[in-house]
Structure 1
Amino acid sequence: MNVMLLLGSVNMAVSVILGAFGAHALKKKLTADMLAVYQTGVQYHMIHAIGLLIVGLIAGSVPMSPLVNITGWLLLVGIILFSGSLYALSLTGIRKLGAITPLGGLAFVAGWIVLACAFIRG
């Protein structure tokens, strides 16, 4: 079983659930600004869950290098740090949580760069 395909599909389901939760349960509980922060978390969560699926497909069909797997783990770390910090920030209002968000963004960028390196090497 390809771990990245599993992680991607689970994260897709979670991002849809959290998106629906935000649209229905949080719409009247959060300020417009905090709802936008939450929705940004959902958007990046979903996009990078699709990225995990793509990485899983690449890893399963083309034996490239360990860089492909590293890409997947970096995307997962990015989801946890970037989207997770935005979810926590919007739900708690603790602004210091926003300091974690750029680390997740760096993990996303690093993941995509590592994938590009895998293609260049492969």
Structure 2
Amino acid sequence: MTMSDAEKSGFLAKVIGPKLRWRQYQARVKQLPPNYRTAVEAIEQYMMHFVPTDADSDASRFEDLADLFEQAAADGTPIREIVGEDPVEFVEAFVHNYTEGGYVPARARKRLTDAITRAVGEDTGK
């Protein structure tokens, strides 16, 4: 059984589309000021613990994250004003718009909180 041209096209769009969107997202994040980039990378790492719903939803989630931080950086909005005092709560509410999520280990929660604290220049006590 062979694939028709339409089936091949659909399959390739599913495989290449998300990869292209991911690369574009990563390029956008690299353009952020260092502290915003640190915060986004920490949030990104934390979001990887959530169960994906589908490629389009996941790509949209990361693109929306980049939109949020690009606008905040352009406006000079402090990171703490974006994520609040509890970055775990922020990310879980953010992700809830895209998926029901998954179990996130306590270690990942602490890593996120510490990374945001470093990104905003607060003392972590270490």
- TM bucket normalised to smaller: 0.3 to 0.5
Please state which structure has a larger fraction of its residues in helix: 1
Larger radius of gyration: 2
Question: Which structure is richer in relative contact order (CA contacts within 8 A, separation 6 or more)?
Answer: 2
